[in-house]
A and B are shown apart, each in its own frame.
Chain A
Amino acid sequence: EAGVAQSPRYKIIEKRQSVAFWCNPISGHATLYWYQQILGQGPKLLIQFQNNGVVDDSQLPKDRFSAERLKGVDSTLKIQPAKLEDSAVYLCASSPDRARTDTQYFGPGTRLTVL
């Protein structure tokens, strides 16, 4: 079974530029998560989707971050405009069942560097 796919793996941009990340979850997984992991810290949930609906986006900085999962499969996370403090690894995870948070499978992440 293929795992969670993310692209790109690395991205370097200048502040105030825009950037987008893509995630393809494990086939059949209805729940998709985006996490931000700042160097030296644990992952922090940004947004959770159930199929194509948002379950929790309480920690998403909505003035600059947006995410969508239009067809309930793959998802994109966008930052516009980027700030220096957005430098982090952005992890995507998926789960077959939102009730079983322990069944989250993580992708390899996209490392973003904002200069």
Chain B
Amino acid sequence: GQQLNQSPQSMFIQEGEDVSMNCTSSSIFNTWLWYKQEPGEGPVLLIALYKAGELTSNGRLTAQFGITRKDSFLNISASIPSDVGIYFCAGRRFGNEKLTFGTGTRLTIIP
């Protein structure tokens, strides 16, 4: 089955740095979601986006719904140790209930 392309695949950053990651698709989506997954746990929803061009924040996290409807972006400002994990994007097409997940971006914070 299709998976959305996420980049980068992994990131190694220092505490306090800002983080940017993106998710792209060859298909148009009408909903974009960003999840975080920690070891041994299921994904937890961070931000949901429903409109092209929409910019939504959740604390230090900001996500954007690309205007082409084929991409989305997630930024984390001033990273802290608890930001460590794998970040997944997920999209839903119009008229289809199923979520398609990305390949994930693994974030590691170097002490």
Contact = CB atoms under 8 A, between A and B. Distances in A.
Task: Please indicate whether A and B come from the same complex rather than being unrelated chains.
Answer: yes
A98 B96 CA distance: 11
A113 interface: no
A106 B101 contact: no
A48 interface: yes
Contacts of A77: none
A109 interface: yes
B88 to A, nearest CB: 5
B31 A106 contact: no
A104 B99 contact: yes
A101 B100 CA distance: 11
Contacts, number: 58
Given A102-B31, A102-B33, A102-B48, A44 B101 contact: yes
Interface stretch (B14-22, B37-45, B57-65, B72-80): B37-45
Interface residues of A, number: 23
Nearest to B106: A40
Given A42-B101, A42-B103, A98-B97, A106 B3 contact: no
Contacts of B66: none
Contact of A42 (B41, B88, B92): B88
B3 A41 contact: yes
Contacts of B1: 44, 59
A41 B33 CA distance: 16
Given A102-B45, A104-B45, A48 B104 contact: no
Contacts of A4: 42
Interface of B: 1, 3-4, 31, 33, 40-45, 48, 88, 90, 92, 97-99, 101-104
